[in-house]
Structure 1
């Protein structure tokens, strides 16, 4: 069963949205997409500047393993520096099969 993770956040003051798009693409290419069980990822933004990242994983274990290393990985540091950590809200869901 596919596991879906969501993360909502705002950027740090002064971080340019176009620069963040570049940082986001880099973290996906250099870190997320190389992790076992990675299925897909999309990033959206609302009119208030809140971002929503949706990541699909093959299993909850794949998601756990990736997130355990995420905050310490060299590939993620520029991405993390751009995010206002006080605004981060995350969730995990199991895909409902029809």
Structure 2
């Protein structure tokens, strides 16, 4: 089973348990799963297909986990990028990976 399928199972078993804490933000498994599903729908609507690279460019937060799960649920492959990278590095990573969605 895929990581996203295993996460879905965990969310069903423990819907109200805290899944992630980042600073003052805490998300339950249900909240995290719903946000990831919402992002996956948006990504699919944007044309993300199986194994298509999707750039994830965020500061460290709960949103990174939402993004990674959303990309995986959409069938894509996430390309992690650090907001501290110089723009030239980010541009290279996007070009090299072929990511059309960030």
Would you say same fold, with TM above 0.5? no
**More helix per residue:** 2
When normalised by structure 1's length, the TM-score is 0.32
Pair member with larger Rg: 2
